[in-house]
Chain A
Amino acid sequence: MTLTALAFYLFATVSVASAFMVIAARNPVYSVLFLILTFFNSAGLFVLLGAEFLALLLVVVYVGAVAVLFLFVVMMLDIDFAELSEGFLQYMPIGATIGLILLLELILVFGASATSLEAQVLATATPEGMTNAEALGRVLYTDYIYYFQAAGAILLVAMIGAIVLTLVDSTSTRRQSIAAQNARTREDGVEMVDVKPGQGL
C-alpha cells in the first residue's frame, strides 16, 4: 500500500513539475523533451490505476508519434519562439482570472459531487482474470466492429485527403525504383581504381 502511495506521489510530482517546465523552458526543444517526460509519468499513473492498456497507448501514440512529430516541427521550422512569447505576460491577469474560476469550479464540483453506485460498478469494468488489452480486444472486433470499421473509413478518407491536397506530381520528383535497385549488381556499382601513391584521383 505504502509502495503504491509512494509511486503515486513520485509520478504525480514529476509529471506536474515537468508539465510546468514545458511552458517555462526557454528552449522549445527542451519543452518537447519535458513533454515526453510528462507523458511517461502519466503512463505510470495509468499503470497504478490498473489501466495498463491506456498506459501503453500513451507511450506508443503520444511519445512515439505525437511528441516526435512536435520535435520535428520545432526543429524544422525556423520560428523564433522567444520573440513569439514576448509580451505574453500582458495576458497574465485574464489568464489568472480564468484559472482561478476553473479552480473554484473544480473545488465546488469535488465538494458537492457524490458518486453513484452504478458508476462505481462501471469503473471496474474489466472482467475477472483478464487483462485490459484482452478485454478491449474481445469487444472491439465483435460488439463494436461497426464503429471500429467506421473509424477506419474515416482514417482512409483523411489519408486520401492529405494526398489529394498536398502531393505534387511533378516530373522532377525522383521516385524509388525497386526493380532497378534489385537488378543492380556489384559490377554496376563498384569500380576498382588503381591509385598511385601521392596522386589522388
Chain B
Amino acid sequence: MLSNLSLILPELVLFIGAMVLLMYGAFSTKDVTRGVDLGAMGLLVIAAVLALTQSPNGQEVAFNGAFAVDGFTSLMKGLTFIATAVAIAMSRDFMAREKLARFEFSVLLVLAATGMGMMISANDLIALYMGIELQSLALYVVAAINRDSLRSTEAGLKYFVLGALSSGLLLYGASLIYGFSGATGFGDIALAFQPENGQLPIAMTIGLVFLIAGLAFKISAVPFHMWTPDVYEGAPTAVTAFFAAAPKLAGMAIFVRVMMTAFPDAIVAWQQIIIFVSFASMALGAFAAIGQRNIKRLLAYSSIGHMGFALVGFAAGTQDGVAGVVLYMALYAVMTLGTFACVLSMRREGGMVEKIDNLAGLSQTRPFMAACLAIMMFSLAGIPPLAGFFGKLFVFRAAIDAGLYGLSILGVLSSVVGAFYYLRIVKIMYIDAPPEEPYAPMARDMRYLAGASAAFALLFFVYPAPLVELSELAASALFQTPAVEVVTSIARP
C-alpha cells in the first residue's frame, strides 16, 4: 500500500492540497484569492519537483496496474504541472482587473492538474477515462467562469457538450476494446493482440478508431477541432492561456502512451489514422488562421496546426519520433505561454483588446512587448535559429527516418503557409502606424514571463542538449518493454 502511495505522491499532494485550499477559501471571512493563488502555485511546483525526481528505473505500477510511473510520465507530468503554475501566475493580475478573481479558480486549476497527472499515468482504460473526466470537468467550469458574459458561458457550454460527446466516443471505443481483448489494462490489451495471433479483429479496429477520436478531441486535432476557436475566443484570456499549454501537453502524452503501450503491435492500424490527422491539422491550422482578425482565434488555429506538427513525430512510431513529440510539446508550451503573456498585456484604459489590428505600431509605444511578441511569432513560425525550429527539425527528421516522405513534405509546406500569418503580426507591430491611444504598461509578472520565454526561444540553440537528452530519455522509457521492441522493427522494414 505504501509503495502505491509513494507512486501517486504528486497527485496526492495536489488533491489534498486542493481540498485544504478549498476549505481555507470557503471558511475564511476575508477575500483570500491571492493567498489561495500563491498556495496553488506552491503546490504545483512541489508536485512538479516530486514528479520529476520520481522517475524510477523502468516502469513501476500501482493499484493493480491502474497507475504507471516511468521516465516518460515523470517528465510529462513535471512539464504539465509547471505549465499550470505559470498559467495561474499569469491569470492573477488579469482576473483581478476583470473582476473575476475568485479563489475557486486556482483550486479548480489544481484539480485539473491532478486529473492531468492521473491521465498521463493511466495504465488502464478505466483510469484513463477517470483522469480525462476529472481534467475536463474542471476545464469546462473555468471556461465559463465569467458567468456574466454571454461569450464565456457559451464557450463553457459548447466545450461541455462537445466534450461529453467525445467522452462518449472514447467510452464506446474502450468498451469495444475491452469486449474483444477481455482486458482493460494497457499491458494486457497489448498481450491479447500479438502479431502471431493474426490480424486485428475488425471490431477492435473500430474500437481503436473511436478511442483515437476521443483522444484527438482532447488535443484539438482535425477533424475534432471545431470547439477550439470558439472556446479560445469566448473564455477569459487567462483561461485560454491555460488551455493552450497544460491540457495539450497532458493530452498528447496520454495519446502517445495509449498507442505505444496498449497497441504497439497494431501500429499499421493506427499509423494511417495519425498520418491523416496530423496532415489535416497542419493544413487547417495554416490556412484557416489566415483570415482571422482576433488574436485569440488566430492562436487557436495556430495551436491546431502545432498539434499537427507534433503528431508528425508520433506518426513515425519510432523512439526518435516520440522524443521529437516530447521536445516539440515542451517548446510549444513555453512559446504559447510567452505569447499569451503578451496577449494578456494587450490592455488599454478601457479594457482588453483582442484585435490583431490593434497591435499596430506596438514597437513604438511598447518596444519590449513588441520585441517579445515578435520573437514568439518567429519561433512559432519555426524560423531558425529560434526554439520552434528545433521542435520541427526533430519531428520531421524522425518522420523522414521512418520513411514518411509525403507527410514531411506536406508538413514543411504548411509550415511555410503558416509563417505568413505569424510574420503578418510582426509586420503590423513594426511597420504600421501607431494608434493614438497607447497600451497600459505591462504588469511586472508579465514582463518577467514574456522576457524569460523570449530569451528561452532566442537562446535555446546555444545549449539545447539538456532538454533534448531529457526528451530522449523519456521516449526510451516507452520503448523498454519487449512487447514494444517489435514496433521499431515494424516501423523500419
> A160 near B66 (CB under 8 angstroms)?
no
> A160 near B108 (CB under 8 angstroms)?
yes
* Chain A residues with CB under 8 A of B111: 153, 156-157, 160
Question: Whole-angstrom distance between the alpha carbons of A105 and B144 in the complex?
Answer: 42
**Pick the contact of A163 from B63, B104, B156 — CB < 8 Å?**
B104
**Pick the contact of A151 from B105, B114, B130, B140 — CB < 8 Å?**
B130
* Chain A residues with CB under 8 A of B105: 164
> B127 near A146 (CB under 8 angstroms)?
yes
> A160 near B22 (CB under 8 angstroms)?
yes
The verdict on A79 contacting chain B, using a C-beta distance below 8 Å, is: no
Distance in Å: Cβ of B166 to nearest Cβ of chain A: 16
> B126 near A147 (CB under 8 angstroms)?
yes
Q: Give the number of residues in A that approach B within 8 Å (Cβ atoms).
A: 18
Question: Whole-angstrom distance between the alpha carbons of A160 and B140 in the complex?
Answer: 12
- The residue in chain B whose Cβ has the minimal distance to the Cβ of A158 is B137
* A154 and B144 in contact, given A147-B126, A147-B127 (Cβ under 8 angstroms): no
Residues 216-259 of B contacting A (Cβ, < 8 Å)? none
Distance in Å: Cβ of B357 to nearest Cβ of chain A: 34
Question: Whole-angstrom distance between the alpha carbons of A154 and B130 in the complex?
Answer: 8
Distance in Å: Cβ of A105 to nearest Cβ of chain B: 15
- The residue in chain A whose Cβ has the minimal distance to the Cβ of B67 is A146
**Pick the contact of B114 from A118, A153, A160, A164 — CB < 8 Å?**
A153
> A147 near B130 (CB under 8 angstroms)?
yes
> B104 near A160 (CB under 8 angstroms)?
yes
Binary contact track A131-175/B, C-beta < 8 Å → 1, others 0:
000000000000101110011011011101101111000000000
Distance in Å: Cβ of B274 to nearest Cβ of chain A: 28
Question: Whole-angstrom distance between the alpha carbons of A147 and B102 in the complex?
Answer: 30
Distance in Å: Cβ of B453 to nearest Cβ of chain A: 30
> B134 near A153 (CB under 8 angstroms)?
yes
> B66 near A147 (CB under 8 angstroms)?
yes
Question: Whole-angstrom distance between the alpha carbons of A145 and B130 in the complex?
Answer: 13
* Chain B residues with CB under 8 A of A147: 66, 126-127, 130
> B134 near A154 (CB under 8 angstroms)?
yes
* A164 and B104 in contact, given A147-B127, A150-B131 (Cβ under 8 angstroms): yes
* Chain A residues with CB under 8 A of B325: none
> A160 near B107 (CB under 8 angstroms)?
yes
Q: Give the number of residues in B that approach A within 8 Å (Cβ atoms).
A: 33
The verdict on B141 contacting chain A, using a C-beta distance below 8 Å, is: yes
Question: Whole-angstrom distance between the alpha carbons of A161 and B135 in the complex?
Answer: 12
> B130 near A157 (CB under 8 angstroms)?
no
- The residue in chain B whose Cβ has the minimal distance to the Cβ of A145 is B63
Distance in Å: Cβ of B109 to nearest Cβ of chain A: 11
Question: Whole-angstrom distance between the alpha carbons of A95 and B49 in the complex?
Answer: 57
> A150 near B141 (CB under 8 angstroms)?
no
- The residue in chain A whose Cβ has the minimal distance to the Cβ of B118 is A150
Among B64, B137, B144, B147, the most chain A Cβ lie within 10 Å of the Cβ of B137
> B108 near A161 (CB under 8 angstroms)?
yes
Binary contact track B138-171/A, C-beta < 8 Å → 1, others 0:
1011001101000000001000000000000000
Residues 103-137 of B contacting A (Cβ, < 8 Å)? 104-105, 107-108, 111, 114-115, 118, 126-127, 130-131, 133-134, 137
> B118 near A157 (CB under 8 angstroms)?
no
> A150 near B134 (CB under 8 angstroms)?
yes
Distance in Å: Cβ of B130 to nearest Cβ of chain A: 4
* Chain B residues with CB under 8 A of A118: 182
Distance in Å: Cβ of A37 to nearest Cβ of chain B: 29
The verdict on B15 contacting chain A, using a C-beta distance below 8 Å, is: yes
Question: Whole-angstrom distance between the alpha carbons of A132 and B321 in the complex?
Answer: 48
Binary contact track A24-44/B, C-beta < 8 Å → 1, others 0:
000000000000000000000
**Pick the contact of B138 from A146, A161, A165, A166 — CB < 8 Å?**
A161
Distance in Å: Cβ of A145 to nearest Cβ of chain B: 7
* A165 and B108 in contact, given A146-B63, A147-B66, A147-B127 (Cβ under 8 angstroms): no
* Chain A residues with CB under 8 A of B140: 161
Question: Whole-angstrom distance between the alpha carbons of A91 and B277 in the complex?
Answer: 37
Distance in Å: Cβ of A66 to nearest Cβ of chain B: 18
Distance in Å: Cβ of A185 to nearest Cβ of chain B: 27
Question: Whole-angstrom distance between the alpha carbons of A52 and B460 in the complex?
Answer: 63
* Chain A residues with CB under 8 A of B64: 143
Question: Whole-angstrom distance between the alpha carbons of A150 and B8 in the complex?
Answer: 12
> A164 near B133 (CB under 8 angstroms)?
no
- The residue in chain A whose Cβ has the minimal distance to the Cβ of B144 is A165
Distance in Å: Cβ of B63 to nearest Cβ of chain A: 4
Distance in Å: Cβ of A136 to nearest Cβ of chain B: 15
Question: Whole-angstrom distance between the alpha carbons of A18 and B62 in the complex?
Answer: 47
* Chain A residues with CB under 8 A of B102: 164
Distance in Å: Cβ of B141 to nearest Cβ of chain A: 4
Distance in Å: Cβ of B299 to nearest Cβ of chain A: 25
Distance in Å: Cβ of A151 to nearest Cβ of chain B: 7
Binary contact track B247-286/A, C-beta < 8 Å → 1, others 0:
0000000000000000000000000000000000000000
> A164 near B141 (CB under 8 angstroms)?
yes
Distance in Å: Cβ of A183 to nearest Cβ of chain B: 20
* Chain B residues with CB under 8 A of A150: 118, 127, 130-131, 134
* A154 and B137 in contact, given A146-B67, A163-B104 (Cβ under 8 angstroms): yes
* Chain B residues with CB under 8 A of A165: 141, 144-145, 147, 156
Question: Whole-angstrom distance between the alpha carbons of A158 and B15 in the complex?
Answer: 15
24 A–B contacts, CB within 8 A, in A order? A146-B8, A146-B62, A146-B127, A147-B66, A150-B130, A153-B115, A156-B111, A157-B108, A157-B134, A157-B141, A158-B137, A160-B22, A160-B104, A160-B111, A160-B141, A161-B108, A161-B138, A161-B140, A161-B141, A164-B102, A164-B104, A165-B145, A165-B147, A165-B156
Given contacts A143-B64, A153-B111, 12 further A-B contacts (CB under 8 A): A146-B66, A147-B127, A157-B108, A157-B111, A157-B138, A158-B137, A160-B104, A160-B108, A160-B111, A161-B141, A164-B105, A165-B147
